[in-house]
């Protein structure tokens, strides 16, 4: 068994993947094997993986959960890292996360994400997603859930928690790490383990599409963990109520984003009208999730 494996899932983003793999050559701690799980197998992605001596694993069944589970099945390490294909880690990233486990402070640890995207739409996406929960300026400490965009865990966690839930559109990592915490494993947020996130958000349409997708996937997760997640309790299960309350829910979501982004991101205040538009799309995605839930056969 290898000491450490790194799993990166990807889909049609060879240029971003190349930049991520280039950064791994600068790590102060060696990772024994790098696995590239291609969730839409392509010759270009395979070529990039082999260029950097990474193990190329085609996984034609689409979905974050399916791709991550394939990576877990193939990985040989006693310790497993996850990193997204659009994230570039700092040179000490692998070492900082490794030390978090070896210190005995955690069984799973996740780091921070700094914004790398350029332009208004990319900034709005950061303030709506990473800024409130993954800012490098936040304090280290115990966490309720973690992100696979920047994660390390012991293999024994996988052996006890099981697979990622492939039925979720997204938030499969939040679900997995919540299940780990409920089993008694210790979760740690360590902002010093920093990556720069180059989100593929270039236009307002990209931002709004992402918010709708996040709203749908996160609402699925909240519905599953309604008793565990305090925020979930304020979202109506009725699709009609979601639609009627859409402006009020979007206003509350905007207030939450502004409060969580301050003081590290003061531009959240002047950008709040645009964040509100994003929240309208987020909660419309939530309406779609509840409508799908109602249509699902018993």
Based on the fold, state whether residues 130 and 20 are members of the same structural domain.
yes
- The shares of helix, strand and coil residues in the chain, as percent rounded to the nearest 5, are 50, 20, 30
Residue 129 pLDDT = 96
Residues 106 and 213 both lie in one domain: no
The single-letter DSSP state of residue 170 is S
Q: Say yes or no: 186 and 287 in one domain.
A: no
| Same domain (yes/no): 148, 269 | no
Q: Which of 44, 46, 42, 73 is nearest to 60 (CA)?
A: 42
Residue 101 shares a structural domain with residue 149: yes
E strand or H helix at 33: strand 33-38
Say if residue 130 is in the same domain as residue 38: yes
Task: State which of 197, 213, 230 marks the end of a domain.
Answer: 197
Q: Spell 55-67 as b/e; 16+ CB within 10 A means b.
A: bebebeeebbbbb
Ranges under pLDDT 70 in the chain: 1, 296-298
Question: Per-residue pLDDT tens for 55-80?
Answer: 999 999 999 999 999 999 999 999 99
Q: Provide CB contacts within 8 A for 44, sequence distance 6+.
A: 14
* CB-based burial label for 292 (10 Å; 0-12, 13-18, 19+): middle
CA–CA distance, 205 with 94 (Å, rounded to integer): 35
> How many domains in the chain?
2
**Which among 141, 162, 197 is the end of a domain?**
197
**CB-CB neighbours of 231 under 10 Å:** 12
Assess whether 9 and 144 both reside in one domain.
Answer: yes
Q: Say whether both 144 and 272 belong to one domain.
A: no
Question: Residue 297's pLDDT is what?
Answer: 62
CA distance 145 to 163: 16
How far is 67 from 82, CA to CA, in rounded Å? 12
pTM over 0.85: yes
Residues 174 and 58 in one domain: yes
User: What span, in angstroms and rounded, lies between the C-alpha atoms of 142 and 224?
Assistant: 23
Specify the residue for token string 């996740």: 110
Q: Which of 197, 219, 236 is the last residue of a domain?
A: 197
Do 41 and 104 share a structural domain? Answer: yes
Q: Which residues contact 42 (CB under 8 A, 6 or more apart)?
A: 12, 14
Q: What pLDDT does residue 3 have? A: 93
Q: Tell me: do 27 and 128 sit in the same domain.
A: yes
Cis peptide before 94 (omega within 30 of 0): no
Rounded to whole angstroms, the Cα distance separating 128 from 256 reads: 10
Report the CATH number at residue 99. 3.90.550.10
pLDDT at 228: 84
Q: Domain residues for 164?
A: 2-197
Would the CA dihedral through 154, 160, 166, 168 be positive or negative? Answer: negative
**Looking at the structure, do residues 53 and 190 belong to the same domain, yes or no?**
yes
Other CB atoms closer than 10 Å to residue 205's CB: what's the count?
10
Q: What is the DSSP string of 56-86?
A: EEE--S-SHHHHHHHHHHH--EEEEEEE-TT
Give the model's pLDDT for residue 229: 83
């Amino acid at each position: 068994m290898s000491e450490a494996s790194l799993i990166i899932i990807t889909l049609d983003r060879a240029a971003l993947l190349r930049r991520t793999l280039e950064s791994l050559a600068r790590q102060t701690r060696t990772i024994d094997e790098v696995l590239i799980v291609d969730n839409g197998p392509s010759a270009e992605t395979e070529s990039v993986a082999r260029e950097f001596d990474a193990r190329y694993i085609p996984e034609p069944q689409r979905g974050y959960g399916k791709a991550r589970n394939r990576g877990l099945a193939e990985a040989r390490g006693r310790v497993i890292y996850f990193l997204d294909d659009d994230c570039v880690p700092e040179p000490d990233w692998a070492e900082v996360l490794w030390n978090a486990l070896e210190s005995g402070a955690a069984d799973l640890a996740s780091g921070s994400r700094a914004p790398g995207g350029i332009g208004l739409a990319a900034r709005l996406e950061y303030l709506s997603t990473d800024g409130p929960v993954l800012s490098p300026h936040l304090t280290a400490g115990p966490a309720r859930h973690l992100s696979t965009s920047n994660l390390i865990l012991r293999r024994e966690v996988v052996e006890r928690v099981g697979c990622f839930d492939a039925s979720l559109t997204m938030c499969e990592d939040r679900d997995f790490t919540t299940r780990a915490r409920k089993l008694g494993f210790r979760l740690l947020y360590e902002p010093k383990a920093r990556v720069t996130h180059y989100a593929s958000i270039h236009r307002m349409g990209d931002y709004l599409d992402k918010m709708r997708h996040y709203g749908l996937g996160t609402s699925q997760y909240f519905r599953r963990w309604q008793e565990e997640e305090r925020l979930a309790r304020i979202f109506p299960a009725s699709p009609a109520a979601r639609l009627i309350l859409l402006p009020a829910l979007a206003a509350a979501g905007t207030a939450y984003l502004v409060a969580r982004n301050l003081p590290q991101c003061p531009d959240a205040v002047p950008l709040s009208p645009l964040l509100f538009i994003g929240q309208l799309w987020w909660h419309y995605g939530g309406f779609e999730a509840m409508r799908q839930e109602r249509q699902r056969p018993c």
